[in-house]
Structure 1
Amino acid sequence: MPSLYSTLYTAYTLLTLPVRLLSWWLYYIPKSNRPNPAWSWKTAVTLQIIILVIRYRTVTRYRTPKSLEPGPDGDRFIVVNPQFTISNLNPNANLEIKSDSESESESPVYKGTLTSVPAVEPLPVGAAWFPSTPRQPPKRLIIHFHASAYVLFGPRPSDGTGWGPTSFSEISEWPLLSVQYRLSLDADKTFPAAVQDGLTVYIYALEVLKIPASQIVFSGESAGGNLILALLRYITEENAVIPLPRCALLWSPWVDMTHRSLERMVAHRNYRSDYIEYGLGVWGASAYIPPGWEDDHPFLSPLVSERNLRLSVPLFIEVGTSEVLYDDILEFAGQMKKNGTEVEVREAINGVHATFGVACNLGMLEVAVEGHVCAAKFIARIEEKLKE
């Protein structure tokens, strides 16, 4: 049941909504009043509505409904079960491989850091196809992780997050599978639950769909980008028998969830021109980080810990010039380049956080589509390099 405070806050939000809408409509008519003068009136007003919705869900600790039932998404929604053995091994790995007869607790798939929180175990995970269900098993695949702060939203078309995945799938001409990874709304869903789910879908693509790793691309928005970096770190440092994907696309990745970084957000020059607020960051970080863990752990805050990590997976990183994580993301990209990782950075001019998917609502279609085109060219360029 909702608490008394949540009930009162809901009533307050609803009662004041008409006045807020009217004030925003009037206040943002002059360009000088808009958070970014280059924005349209629609973008400025819609941003405030998005902020209001996210702030409401943050204050009331809204629980995004999750189900493994297809519901209105029909056959576009699938359920993937964890697989505890793997045959499609990395041919370059020089490690001892455990046999299929060994116990699940000794699985060559889930081990090390991914089994470091006893309450968190691999479970079936849902996923949604974009733009539609393939008629036959695809020969290549984008595995996508939606934005969430690890506490909100979902991957389904019915979750309202379908424009970005659909647009990017159509532009790149790659089928896309968006993962319904676990949100950290309960004690048994902290890290590494979401990373386990990402690995489950990746192994499904390798083992069941029989797609070569070189024909798989990771894509992730915000927390989804954070998830990808944890997954790549896990494979690189702890489980090299699993082959790495062709490349990874990070759309406004969350690279630092330390409390120090969250406090800096409030004073950032872009704080008024983005919908990411301190309260959401605190909720997401506190929910996702397991009890007793430091917030600068390498699997949580890659900006703090990537100084010595080199990835053999090329990275495409998009960052909005009006987003509050702008400086963190550019610093992270610079660190990775310095370490020898191939990195391409694309700045979405006047874009907010995770423009990839939210642009449709904000009236920033051209900015987002340009990013989709750049990422599609990046994927193709990496393929050409692999052929050389």
Structure 2
Amino acid sequence: MAPLITYHPFKGIYVLLAASLELARMPLWVVKYVTSYGRQNPKYTFKQAFGTRFLYAFLQHVAAIQFTTPLPLTPGAEKDRFITISPASSDFYKGPLDSNPDVKPTTIGATWYPAALSASVDKRNVTVVLHMHGGAFVHGDGRTEGTGYLASQLLKHSGATHIFCPQYRLSTLPASATSNPFPAALQDTLTSYLYLLHTLQIPAANIIISGDSAGGNLILSLLRYISDHGADVGIPAAGGAFLWSPWVDLRDSTTDNFSRTNSNYSTDYLPPNFTIWGSHAYAGPAGISSLNNPYISHLGKPFKTATPIFMNTGGAEVLFFDDVKCGEEMAAVAGNRVTVDVEPDVPHDILLVTPFLGFHDAVARCAKRAGEWWKNVKTV
């Protein structure tokens, strides 16, 4: 894998100072979290409490110097599990996906788990999870180092035979015509779905579209797009959708008020500057007023979808309240099939970060419930 940090002399100085500061703090964290009384949540283990605090500090510094994730279109460590995908015909990218003349569909990479889907396999006997990774639209790539654990849990418990993780374009700052603002990531999400449908000829009923955090936002946006434009351009609804701690409203994340006034702020690892970075970068040159777009912020804007939805959120994460409210709004739409699933006493997006934090039992429970939900969906 390419290095996480894009080198710059001033960034190097910052990294040295930040590392020194956090190393000095670590003994204090050990003392504080050695008993349950000092932990963010008394039900956290020492590893979970320490890991949550460490991850908060790490993401805070990542956002401070805006570390970038390289997105090469070469296989790397993934070897033959990595492929490239070309965009579909421009006829499929309508409305919001054609709203910025500077942002056009492009070739992207993607990683298969546990192996690339063979062309000779009977597609009627597979279930593919198309998973869009989290990272606040500014971080991550869907490759094994970051998404391998999540993929392994879904393969083990959800009933899927294959997981397909694209590396969609990431947004950057300063905002510009080439900084990959909205709708770049959403275009890549549609490109990935159309690849499964058209190139691999996988029946839509055998595809679960899935996403964690910012990736969950993209899946909701894809569902909305199919609802609004699918019939016109011939895009069928997916068989199901998994949403893992979806970031459903970017409007409140442009300042630190949302996080710091949230009653779950102390039990989560999301620092305010990380989501501020992501929301401003995804908005791009259009500015933060564009975050009110229903294809970016879904809270308060429910829509009808033919795809059943399983929405999982953590009871100790800052997005918990928005997730539950959004799920209830979607469930209230006539004809929608929405299950809001809450795992108590866990922070944000545990499927992604548990290798660092140690919420393995909770991840297994969530993935198993998703698998049971999918079994029930298929029998309806």
* Pair in the same fold by TM > 0.5: yes
Residues in 2 aligned to 1:211 and 1:63: alpha-carbon distance in whole angstroms: 33
Within 5 Å, which residues of 2 pair with 1:198-209?
Answer: 198-209=189-200
Aligned to 2:243: 250
Aligned to 1:317: 311
Contact 2:248-2:322 within 8 A present in 1 as well? yes
Q: What are the ranges of 5 or more consecutive residues in structure 2 without an aligned counterpart? A: 1-5
Aligned to 2:359: 364
Aligned to 1:16: 21
Answer yes or no: is 1:124 the counterpart of 2:107.
Answer: yes
Q: What is the aligned counterpart of 1:231 among 222, 230, 248?
A: 222
Instruction: Kindly provide the amino acid, as one letter, of the partner of residue 246 in structure 1.
Output: G
How many residue pairs get matched?
360
Within 5 Å, which residues of 2 pair with 1:61-80?
Answer: 61-80=66-85
Q: What is the aligned counterpart of 2:371 among 351, 370, 376?
A: 376
Contact 2:350-2:363 within 8 A present in 1 as well? yes
Aligned to 1:99: none
CA-to-aligned-CA distance 1:130-181 (integer Å, 9 cap, x gap): 1233444453311001111000122101x33210111111223421101111
Superposed displacement of residue 27, structure 1: 1.4
Residues in 2 aligned to 1:361 and 1:18: alpha-carbon distance in whole angstroms: 17
Residues in 2 aligned to 1:219 and 1:110: alpha-carbon distance in whole angstroms: 20
Is 164-173 or 43-52 further displaced after alignment? 164-173
Instruction: Kindly provide the amino acid, as one letter, of the partner of residue 247 in structure 1.
Output: G
Contact 2:250-2:291 within 8 A present in 1 as well? yes
Residues in 1 aligned to 2:377 and 2:246: alpha-carbon distance in whole angstroms: 21
Aligned to 1:295: 291
Contact 2:137-2:171 within 8 A present in 1 as well? yes
Residues in 2 aligned to 1:357 and 1:290: alpha-carbon distance in whole angstroms: 26
Tell me how large the CA RMSD over aligned residues is: 1.7
Provide closer, same or farther for how the CA distance between residues 368 and 295 of structure 1 changes in structure 2, counting only shifts above 3 A. Answer: same
Q: What is the aligned counterpart of 1:271 among 255, 265, 272?
A: 265
- The sequence identity of aligned pairs, in percent, is 32
Residues in 1 aligned to 2:14 and 2:21: alpha-carbon distance in whole angstroms: 11
Aligned to 1:337: 331
Q: What is the aligned counterpart of 2:62 among 57, 70, 75?
A: 57
Contact 2:254-2:280 within 8 A present in 1 as well? no
CA-to-aligned-CA distance 1:28-60 (integer Å, 9 cap, x gap): 112111000001011111111111211111000
Residues in 2 aligned to 1:260 and 1:119: alpha-carbon distance in whole angstroms: 25
Q: What are the ranges of 5 or more consecutive residues in structure 1 without an aligned counterpart? A: 85-106
Residues in 2 aligned to 1:160 and 1:223: alpha-carbon distance in whole angstroms: 14
Residues in 2 aligned to 1:221 and 1:381: alpha-carbon distance in whole angstroms: 22
Residues in 2 aligned to 1:19 and 1:276: alpha-carbon distance in whole angstroms: 21
Within 5 Å, which residues of 2 pair with 1:154-233?
Answer: 154-157=141-144, 159-174=145-160, 175-185=162-172, 187=176, 188=178, 189-233=180-224
Instruction: Kindly provide the amino acid, as one letter, of the partner of residue 351 in structure 1.
Output: V
Superposed displacement of residue 5, structure 1: 5.1
Q: What secondary structure, in the 3-state scheme, does the structure 2 residue paired with 1:129 have?
A: strand
TM-score (norm 2): 0.90
Provide closer, same or farther for how the CA distance between residues 278 and 17 of structure 1 changes in structure 2, counting only shifts above 3 A. Answer: closer
CA-to-aligned-CA distance 1:200-228 (integer Å, 9 cap, x gap): 11111111111111111101000001001
Instruction: Kindly provide the amino acid, as one letter, of the partner of residue 104 in structure 2.
Output: E
Contact 1:357-1:368 within 8 A present in 2 as well? no
Within 5 Å, which residues of 2 pair with 1:101-112?
Answer: 107-112=90-95
4+ residue runs of structure 1 moved beyond 4 angstroms? Answer: 1-5, 135-138
Q: What secondary structure, in the 3-state scheme, does the structure 1 residue paired with 2:311 have?
A: strand
TM-score (norm 1): 0.89
Within 5 Å, which residues of 2 pair with 1:343-362?
Answer: 343-362=338-357
Contact 1:296-1:304 within 8 A present in 2 as well? no
Contact 1:252-1:318 within 8 A present in 2 as well? yes
Aligned to 1:6: 11
Answer yes or no: is 1:143 the counterpart of 2:148.
Answer: no
Instruction: Kindly provide the amino acid, as one letter, of the partner of residue 23 in structure 1.
Output: L
Instruction: Kindly provide the amino acid, as one letter, of the partner of residue 170 in structure 1.
Output: K
